Amino acid sequence: MSMYSLAAIAGLAIFAGSVSAADSPGLGSSLSQDELAAIDFVVLPNGDGLPDGGGTAATGAIVYQQNCLACHGEKGTGGANDTLAGGQGSLAGESPLKTIGSFWPYATTVFDYVRRAMPIQSPGVLSNDELYAVTAYLLYINEVIGENDEINAETLPGVRMPNRDNFVWDYSQAE
Ligand code: HEC
């Protein structure tokens, strides 16, 4: 190795050690608040993270018809994709049918899941009001809430799912 390349490596090491944000190589770019909000969102079972807005099953029925019915069928049954309603009490029987109403332990997860994943070909297109409304509709067709019950960040965490108590915490609290 020549003296020249040794000096070059030493110079590089000194340079690398003194890099700060100001004189970084300029790779990538900072996210705006809007861009961050679009990917950094999660709703916890207790409702933490739920946004402003609200809706009822009555308005959610329209959101459902326009965005979901083609794949999930009339009132969540008989579609080409997952059945979203019915099956309550079937899980321990001969033909278990897992749906929101028969299986899901938390109502808040319906909002979180639909917001991040549905409609499957274009998640993210629904407004928060539309998401609350279609969540209300899914709970309504599962007979968990009434047609005109307002669903929002305050009320959704209080909706108790029929299968809630069949989920058990498998770890001792003392450990
Ligand atoms: C183009 C077809 C399509 C459309 C439109 C669509 N979905 Fe889905 N949906 C699917 C598929 C496929 C799955 C299964 C995804 C998987 O298992 O990963 C699914 C799964 C779901 C589930 C999970 C069911 C379960 O119990 O596991 C829910 C809830 C749901 N969709 C709600 C909706 C709602 C609400 C809309 C409208 C806003 C919608 N979907 C629009 C295809 C669709």
Helix (H/G/I), strand (E/B), else coil: 76? helix
pLDDT at 21: 63
| 57 domain-assigned | yes
Q: Is the CB of 107 under 6 A from ligand 1?
A: no
CA distances for 159 relative to 52, 90, 107, 154, 165, angstroms: 17, 21, 6, 10, 13
Residue nearest to atom 6 of ligand 1 (CA): 119
| CA 163/CA 79 separation, integer angstroms | 23
Centre of ligand 1 to C-alpha 69, Å, is 10
Probe residue for ligand 1, chosen from 64, 67, 71, 102 as the CB with the greatest number of ligand atoms within 8 Å: 71
**Bridge partner list, 55:** 151
DSSP code at position 74: G
* Burial class of residue 79 (count of CB atoms within 10 Å of its CB; 0-12, 13-18, 19+): middle
> pTM for the whole thing?
0.83
Q: Is the pLDDT assigned to residue 4 strictly greater than 70?
A: no
- Residue range 135-156: average pLDDT? 98
How does residue 20 score in pLDDT terms, banded at 50, 70 and 90?
low
| 71 domain-assigned | yes
| Total number of domains in the chain | 1
Q: Is the CB of 70 under 6 A from ligand 1?
A: yes
Q: Helix axis angle, 128-141 relative to 57-67, nearest 10°?
A: 100
CATH number, residue 151 = 1.10.760.10
* 7 compared with 19, residue with greater pLDDT: 19
Centre of ligand 1 to C-alpha 117, Å, is 7
Residue 74 φ/ψ region, left for φ over 0, alpha for ψ in the -120 to 50 degree band, beta for the rest: beta
Helix (H/G/I), strand (E/B), else coil: 81? coil
Q: Tens digit of pLDDT for each residue in 151-173?
A: 999 999 999 999 999 998 888 77
Q: Tens digit of pLDDT for each residue in 34-67?
A: 888 878 889 999 999 999 999 999 999 999 999 9
| 114 domain-assigned | yes
* 9 compared with 113, residue with greater pLDDT: 113
Q: Is the CB of 141 under 6 A from ligand 1?
A: no
* 10 compared with 106, residue with greater pLDDT: 106
How does residue 10 score in pLDDT terms, banded at 50, 70 and 90?
very low
| 40 domain-assigned | no
Residue 91 CA to chain centroid, in angstroms? 24
| 94 domain-assigned | yes
Q: Alpha helix (H) ranges present in the chain?
A: 3-17, 33-39, 57-67, 69-72, 108-117, 128-141
Residue in this structure with the two tokens 């970084």, named with its chain if needed: 24
Q: What percent of the chain has pLDDT over 90?
A: 74
For residue 96, give every residue at least 6 positions away whose Cβ sits within 8 Å of its Cβ, in sequence order, or none: 87, 90, 102
Q: Which domain holds residue 62?
A: 51-164
**Bridge partner list, 54:** 152
| 138 domain-assigned | yes
Centre of ligand 1 to C-alpha 14, Å, is 54
Over the chain, what is the mean pLDDT? 89
| 83 domain-assigned | yes
| 2 domain-assigned | no
